[in-house]
Amino acid sequence: MKILVADDEPIMLKTIALKLKKDGHEVIATDNGREAIELIESEKPELVITDIMMPFASGLEIAGKVKQSASPVPVIILSSMGQENVVLEAFNLGADDFITKPFSPNELSVRVKRLMVPHAALHLT
Amino acid sequence: MILVCSLLVFMSIYSFRRHQFTTKRNWLKKCFADVVSDIILCESPEELEVAISKVDNNVKTALKFRYGRKVLLKEIIHTKANFTGHAADNLVWLYERWSFHQDSLARFASDKWHIKAKGIQQLAEMRQTRFLKRIYRDTDHPNALVRKEAQVAIVQLIGFEGLRFLRFIQYPLTQWQQLCLLHQLNEQDINVKSIEEWLRSANETVVEFALRLIEKYKCFTLQNLIIDLLNSPNQNIVSQAIQTLNEIADEDTATLLIPYFDMLAGIHQHELLQIIVNNIQPEQHSFLLDLSTSTDPLICNTALKALQKFHVQFIGKKQRTNTGVYLLPVPEKDVI
């Protein structure tokens, strides 16, 4: 599965990308929102994982763009404690799941797997 | 002219130095990102050893310099806050493996309060329980920020048990400090005896905090001690006692609070009445009847509303079974 990860913190970005690669996914990583939007259009990922606070374009803008596109894909939002209102806004924009920091990398794997199943079934039909 | 030129030169040098620092910091962060992300995802001690043996020379060199260590320590601590489980454990392992506790201890030993506070924060974040005694000594430090960090650190490290500093602290606990301590406490084993002891503390802010603990942990057995505090000359304690009573009230609370009603005044009296009304029992309807003629419109209104509710709940039921029951003068609409 081709996954786009957007996070402006280098360690977070590398860790998430590495974990997903270990799980057998193809990963496109970016540290800014504007580039993430460009990559969504050019690379056509099957899943987007984005942090909320991002330079140039926020995670919410990314989620909005993905869901407005002709072929929307699942979006997982990474949020911090106390950002519940923003998470609600993300769900309104169509986000499929959210993970609150602090989290375990294994939790991320499980969430990705959970989202992959219905999406794969949709593609098959 | 000379002044303007000097200013321009200064600004150029400053911008250049700043740019240099930013570039260096970003470069270091990128170097560290590979190592740290590798370490985070390790699943066993063997994997950790393999990952650390692969560390490149840039990182090894950076670790020999103060600035490099400072950047990496900051990154480790910041990253640890984003992870739980194995990932967080591995970061603590890395912190100890590269002796970053020495850097934190050096900060902790500083005479400058902000550096000392930072050191305490780092030791607590990286779960360094072996330095508990040293941190504990600063829980009553003259500097408010150092004191706050030490207290929060102790609770972060050993939980409720760490609150034993409440027994001896002389300095007040600010409202913010109390909230920070409560935030650190999870649903864990509490010691009601200790809370009871803190309720009798000479430090009034400790009493206030003990009341907050009772509210958080719902210590119903301490209700009588809280009611005694309604006599306190400290208005913050009275206010917190009322708030706590509201949280732990039961069917006996109204009976216990009625004698205190006339002792209080203003907003506290109104708040107490609300607790009484919420927990009123049939035998207390005469108290409400007395209050319904009060000159205070708020008290009168609350009493009448309660009587109306009371009538529906208790008298109404009784009336259906016993026609000789006394009918209360219930208004059809609120008086005010």
Residue-wise pLDDT for A56-90, tens only, equals 888 889 999 888 887 789 999 998 877 778 888 88
Evaluated on CA atoms B171, B184, B162, B209, the torsion sign reads: positive
CB spacing of A105 vs B41 below 8 angstroms: yes
* Best residue in B25, B47, B84, B92 for a mutation probing chain A (most A CBs within 10 Å): B84
CA atoms lying within 13 Å on the CB side of residue B328: 27
Lowest mean pLDDT segment, chosen from B14-23, B48-57, B162-171, B216-225: B14-23
User: What are the phi and psi torsion angles at A120 (to 5°)?
Assistant: -65, -40
As a whole number of angstroms, the distance between CA B283 and CA B255 comes to: 9
Q: What does the pLDDT read at residue A120?
A: 59
Q: What does the pLDDT read at residue B264?
A: 84
**For residue A125, is pLDDT > 80?**
no
Q: Which of B79, B85, B88 sits opposite A11 (nearest CB)?
A: B79
Residue of B279, B334, B269, B287 whose CA lies nearest to B308? B334
User: Cβ of B27 under 8 Å from any chain A Cβ?
Assistant: no
pTM of the model: 0.81
- Restricting to A residues 4-23, those with a Cβ less than 8 Å away from any Cβ of B are 9-15, 17-19, 22
Q: What does the pLDDT read at residue B181?
A: 95
Helices (H) and strands (E) in chain B, counts: 19, 0
